[in-house]
Structure 1
Amino acid sequence: MVGDSQSETHSAEAAALGFYYQSFFALLTLLERSTDDAAIAIEQLDDVELKADGQTLLFQLKHSIRPTPPPITLKSRALWRTMKVWIDALPGLTLSETTFHLVAVAGIPRGSPFTALTSLAADRDELVKAMVNEAQRVRVARAAASNKNKELPHADRVDGCEAFLSLSETERLNLLRRTVIRQDSPVIGKIEEHIAEHLKIVHPDQRPTVATRLVEWWDRQIVYSLCGKRERVLLRAELQDQISLIIGDLEQGKLLADFETVSEPEDYQPDGMLARQIRLVEGKKSDLSKAIREEWRAREQRSKWMNEKPSMATVIGEYDRVLQEHWSDRHCQMVEDCAGVDDKEKRASGLRILRWTHENAPNIVRPISAGWNAPYYVRGSYQVLAINRKVGWHPDYATLLGGDE
């Protein structure tokens, strides 16, 4: 069923992008605030929850990957689902200290009663009447279908309609008086550009780079907040500190350890030569798993540096030669010491060289750049070199694996 498969793929993509949109929007929202005590979280009372100046701002985000997103109307599923979420949250909120924000990449049709929600100061009376009429229409349509034993219509918005009708007239008006619609919000593919535009303290030429690194840091914080590795709430002070750190690193030309806390994907398949080199010296499972992890980190780091700054290829190449020289000093001595010994001793000696790259080399070989202190780059770069047979662990690795050393 090709159609079903395509539909499922589209749905999965939309869901994934919807989550990332929450993260990006939260970052942009915190950047927009000037209040020092501002704090934000996602997936608590709402998609995004902001606290600032003693106020709670709840954001329901309606992202779309369609070229022309559907407009916000009285019949919008997104509208009534949002109403249901907010009405359910009302008992735990102080309404006078809360505003509700419906954020959509779509727009509002001209003449729509929802234009009243583009400003907190606008009158809401006509909108309340229109929403009550629509909710009652849905209720009547479902009752009529039920009497005729037909499939009940409007299943995607009935809960929101019923929740809205369950409120008193005063409660409906008060809820909408605290509600704002933000229409035509940037789609996820454009939101990083908006983040960059808000970095006014950064030189314009550096804003895209700072924005990219800020998003990478922010994504990790959001993931950590959701899995309990940090507090759920992210503070504006944290964001300001991180921006300052990134700017400082750029001004000093400092290289950032982008992959120190990132593990390789579960489906990552390293070059087979990595495992072959380790098998020659009878490395253990732990030796192999460490090698795979660090090789992936180093390879990703090298690629990122060169993509951001092509001249880094020269720096990386020169540093590889430094690594090779340190390895060569030990490997040549090992080859001499292993002359005449059996293969068991050769393998044991080679294993010690392999483990030296993990345990000692990061402390002995000078860092690739001043201030760099992440050991994964040395460890992983040795594995990259081993894959290319520029280095090896067994005394006779070049002969055993074939090719030139």
Structure 2
Amino acid sequence: MNVAVKAVKHAAPGPYLGFALQPVRLCYHLLTCPSEAQVSLELLDDVAVHYADGTLALEQTKSALKQNPLSDWAADLWKAIANWLESAASGTIDPKKCQFRIYVSPIHAGSLAQALNDCNSDADIEELTAAVALGFKKKKPSACAPYVQRFLSAGDDERAAIITRLAIVSEADPLESLRALIKTTVVPELVDVLCESAIGIAKEQADELIRQGKAAKIDGDRFKANFIAFVQRNNLPGLLTSLTEKPNESEVTAILIQRPTFIRQLEIIDSSYDDRVRAVSDFLRSSSDKTRWAETGLVFEGSLRDFDDSLVWRHGLISTEVADVSPLNDSARQGRAIYRRCAQVQIPIDGRAVPEHFVHGCFNALADAKRLGWHPEYEALLGPNEE
């Protein structure tokens, strides 16, 4: 049985490298927020920046692939404003200490949205309110009705506190602002890889806080420091860094239950359960890393084939050495010795060092393909390939 290897989790297809818009914006604000600021996800708003002086930037994100959330009577537009009015009225936020933003991607526009964005004075607010009231009376739109009515029923000061601090931003691709932060310091092949990694790290931190029952609020300084270290490590010319996180326990257990060929290879030499768990983890990570390195141009596919051939050759040398000193009547013990020796091999790809798990995972991939084995009679014991 061959194992179907999934690519790295954050490599799924989609408009934003596989992510929803909120994690992309969370990551952007974490990388651009000032010192001592924090950024939260789905706490006070979709995304919020919490500044050291107690002020806030509240952002509503709208991924608008099929409809225009900035059209004059779009429910999304007026709901965002109504929600902010309610939060201010309940005391959840102090609007005078907030900046408000509606972020839309891809690019959309609307005349009332533009007017909301452009309001800077009480006179602007008065003129806008009159225009909204007149248009609403004529159009009688139903979807946005309760939200527009909340806007119209608010006091002049309430409306002004929100609208004069409101910015409406629409961009074609939210990743471009992230790419701009990264591309001046790394080779082009790494830009999207690092964007994916940064978003994935930000999302995982937020998800972990939520799983712990805590507010998903992340320290910007710490995030930037960790990401700078991550970029430096990936940008070293002599090092290939893993782009794949460790699989979780359920993923590993699922593979062990399937008993693919490389696990059966370990069973026939009586390897320990811990050895099999490590084999599954390293197999999955190395297989995914191979795919990602090849896709991004970090490694030539021919070099990966040469690397596998080198491992097969190394295995042959080690098997011969072990056979020369091992008892002929203890094949399982001999196989375990070969496996342990191979697990300790470290060789580079095109002169670049690889992560510790990579060579071990590749050996198990070759065992899965039966290009090599640990038991001296592994081919006979495993039987013919399953269809």
Q: Under TM normalisation by the shorter chain, which class is it?
A: 0.7 to 0.9
After TM superposition, give the deviation of residue 336 of structure 1 in Å: 5.0
Q: Confirm or deny that 1:167 pairs with 2:154.
A: yes
Equivalent residue, structure 2, for 1:70: 68
User: Would you say the 8 A contact 1:50–1:58 is kept in 2?
Assistant: yes
User: Would you say the 8 A contact 1:40–1:233 is kept in 2?
Assistant: yes
Cα distance in structure 2, aligned partners of 1:337 and 1:285: 26
After TM superposition, give the deviation of residue 79 of structure 1 in Å: 1.6
Equivalent residue, structure 2, for 1:280: 268
Query: Residues 17-32 of structure 1 correspond to what in structure 2 (within 5 A)?
Result: 20-31=20-31
Cα distance in structure 2, aligned partners of 1:195 and 1:383: 37
Give deviations 1:263-301, integer Å, cap 9, x for gaps. Answer: 599498689422332333344655444322211111111
Higher relative contact order (CA 8 A, sep 6+): 2
Query: Residues 2-401 of structure 1 correspond to what in structure 2 (within 5 A)?
Result: 20-31=20-31, 35-52=34-51, 54=53, 55-66=55-66, 69-70=67-68, 72-90=70-88, 91-105=91-105, 106-109=107-110, 112-119=111-118, 121=120, 123-131=124-132, 154=142, 156-157=143-144, 160-161=147-148, 163-164=150-151, 167-183=154-170, 185-186=171-172, 190-199=173-182, 201-202=184-185, 206-207=187-188, 209-228=190-209, 232-235=217-220, 238-239=223-224, 242-243=227-228, 245-246=230-231, 249-250=234-235, 252-263=237-248, 266=251, 272-283=260-271, 286-309=274-297, 311-336=299-324, 341=329, 345-351=330-336, 353-354=338-339, 361-362=343-344, 365-366=346-347, 372=353, 374-401=355-382
Equivalent residue, structure 2, for 1:6: none
Which secondary structure state, in structure 2, belongs to the residue aligned with residue 227 of structure 1?
Answer: helix
Match of 1:192, as an amino acid? L
Greater alpha carbon shift after TM alignment, 316-325 vs 47-56: 316-325
After TM superposition, give the deviation of residue 174 of structure 1 in Å: 2.0
Structure 1 residues 202 and 287, CA, compared in 2 at 3 Å: closer, same or farther? closer
How many residue pairs get matched?
359
C-alpha RMSD of the superposition? 4.0
After TM superposition, give the deviation of residue 305 of structure 1 in Å: 1.6
Structure 1 residues 44 and 18, CA, compared in 2 at 3 Å: closer, same or farther? farther
Structure 1 residues 85 and 394, CA, compared in 2 at 3 Å: closer, same or farther? farther
After TM superposition, give the deviation of residue 178 of structure 1 in Å: 1.8
Which secondary structure state, in structure 2, belongs to the residue aligned with residue 124 of structure 1?
Answer: helix
Structure 1 residues 134 and 278, CA, compared in 2 at 3 Å: closer, same or farther? farther
After TM superposition, give the deviation of residue 198 of structure 1 in Å: 3.9
Greater alpha carbon shift after TM alignment, 92-101 vs 258-267: 258-267
Cα distance in structure 2, aligned partners of 1:266 and 1:234: 30
- The two structures have a TM-score, normalised by structure 1, of 0.72
User: Would you say the 8 A contact 1:132–1:165 is kept in 2?
Assistant: yes
User: Would you say the 8 A contact 1:277–1:394 is kept in 2?
Assistant: yes
Give deviations 1:110-168, integer Å, cap 9, x for gaps. Answer: xx233223336362222233445677899xx8xxxxxxxxxxx94x5455346445633
Provide structure 1 residue ranges, at least 5 long, that are not aligned to the other structure.
Answer: 1-12, 142-152
Structure 1 residues 300 and 128, CA, compared in 2 at 3 Å: closer, same or farther? same
Which secondary structure state, in structure 2, belongs to the residue aligned with residue 50 of structure 1?
Answer: strand
Provide structure 2 residue ranges, at least 5 long, that are not aligned to the other structure.
Answer: 1-12
Match of 2:127, as an amino acid? E
